[in-house]
Amino acid sequence: MNDENISKDACPIARSLTFAGDAWSLLILRDAHAGLTRFDQFRKSLGIAPTMLTRRLATLTEEGLLEKRRYSEHPPREEYLLTAAGRDFLPVLFMIGAWGRQYRGGGNLVRFFDAENGTEIKAVAVDEVTGAKIGTRPIRTVMPD
Amino acid sequence: MNDENISKDACPIARSLTFAGDAWSLLILRDAHAGLTRFDQFRKSLGIAPTMLTRRLATLTEEGLLEKRRYSEHPPREEYLLTAAGRDFLPVLFMIGAWGRQYRGGGNLVRFFDAENGTEIKAVAVDEVTGAKIGTRPIRTVMPD
DNA sequence: GTGACTAACTTTCAAATTGATAGTGTTGTT
DNA sequence: AACAACACTATCAATTTGAAAGTTAGTCAC
């Protein structure tokens, strides 16, 4: 895709897709939220080729979703930690997961629980202003300029 | 990517990424939600090569997010309409957009308003059970089996 | 009834990306 | 000294993408 055009677009979705528009990046972010930080952890979890993983980690780091940190001087070893922008991507992953659970839900699926009160998490997107679920009320789109 | 492995995975996110793991599909869905239905409308809006568009529309149709409907017998012409599964993908798009607005928000962006009361929509993902925003409380992940 | 035009594609092919496999450099462990 | 762990890099075949042109099946204007 032509990233130049898309990221300069007035659409916030298109802008996000500069890096989030491929499956590996989203799966890496998923694993990062699950606590993975190291190259080999990601590689083994995803079964991704190391060339791909190197590139994707570099992009996610450049784009500010991950941060490279040296965790050992001898030998020199790096790990990848979520930044604030990376952590704030979690709602996106949960909504993708919610859709998958509803429409691709056959067989056993991973489940997520609120660690404090033990209830299963049911992620929904709402408009914070009206409290209504996204998609239940008519939307008006306003272009800039 | 190896779709076979990923869609059989126990992760609902990975399952969704079988088709949603590329930027064009998400942009087509965005445009479909904006009301576009026809091949040439998508093509002009996205600047996508017709080869790509044909393939993506076919995949989205096979995956049950779009539905092909004949809108003219003479000449034979088809349009693509969102199915229930496609409509339910809107929250994902809104959350991707919300992230992009926050972290890639320079310049003028499209904005979305509640058509009934005129307030700007601020999409957030919450746990329907606790009402807490996703990511503000600790999560426990439970694997199947 | 010929020529221009529209819509939804398909064909072709070069360029870019991906993915599998093997190898490298630095270091700790036995 | 031999072996293993970790985080990569190198190589290269296979797949995917993207640009441009062509096709099919009709409508419309004259």
pLDDT at B5 over 60: no
Averaged pLDDT for residues A138-143: 92
Q: What pLDDT is stored for residue A8 in this prediction? A: 60
High-pLDDT (> 90) share of chain A, %? 79
When pLDDT is cut at 50, 70 and 90, the band that residue A76 belongs to is confident
Q: How far is B71 from chain A (nearest CA, A)?
A: 25
> Is the minimum distance from the CB of A39 to strand D below 7 Å?
yes
CA of A59 to C1' of C19 (A): 18
For residue B57, the one-letter residue type is L
Residue–nucleotide distance: A44 CA to C20 C1' (Å) = 15
- The predicted pLDDT at position B6 comes to 53
Q: Which of residues 10-29 of A touch B (CB under 8 A)?
A: 10-18, 20-24, 26-27
pLDDT digit string (tens) for B73-96? 777 788 999 999 999 999 999 999
What average pLDDT does the structure give for chain B? 91
CA distance readout (Å), B16 to A69, B98, B101: 31, 20, 23
What are the contacts of A60-69 at 24+ separation with CB within 8 A? A60/A19, A60/A25, A60/A28, A60/A29, A60/A86, A63/A18, A63/A19, A64/B103, A65/A19, A65/A29, A65/A89, A66/A28, A66/A32
- For residue B4, the model assigns a pLDDT of 53
Identify the residue with better confidence: B2 or B33. B33
Share of chain B above pLDDT 70, in %: 94
pLDDT attached to residue B20: 86
Q: pTM of the prediction? A: 0.91
pLDDT at B3 over 80: no
Residues A92, B98: Cα–Cα separation, whole Å:
9
A43 interfacial to chain B (CB closer than 8 Å): no
Q: What percent of chain B has pLDDT over 90?
A: 79
Residue type, B134: I
Measured distance CA(B54)–CA(B57) in Å, rounded? 5
- Reported as a single tens digit per residue, the pLDDT across B22-59 is 999 999 999 999 999 999 999 999 999 999 999 999 99
Checking if the pLDDT of A6 tops 90, the result is: no
Mean pLDDT, rounded, for A97-109: 90
Q: Are B127 and A122 in contact (CB under 8 A)?
A: yes
Question: Which among B87, B89, B62, B66 has a CA at the least distance from the CA of B78?
Answer: B66
* C-alpha atoms less than 13 angstroms from C-alpha of B90 in its C-beta half-sphere: 20
The bridge status of strand A66-72 relative to strand B123-127 is unpaired
Q: C8 C1' – B39 CA distance, angstroms?
A: 7
- Residue count (chain A): 145
Nearest chain A Cα distance for residue B130, angstroms: 8
The CA dihedral of B1, B4, B10, B12, to the nearest 10 degrees, is 60
> Looking at A32-36, A63-67, B3-7, B10-14, which range is the least confident one?
B3-7
Mean pLDDT, chain A, whole residue set: 91
CA of A70 to nearest chain B CA: how many angstroms apart? 25
Report DSSP state, residue A22.
B
Gap between the Cα atoms of B81 and B78, Å rounded: 10
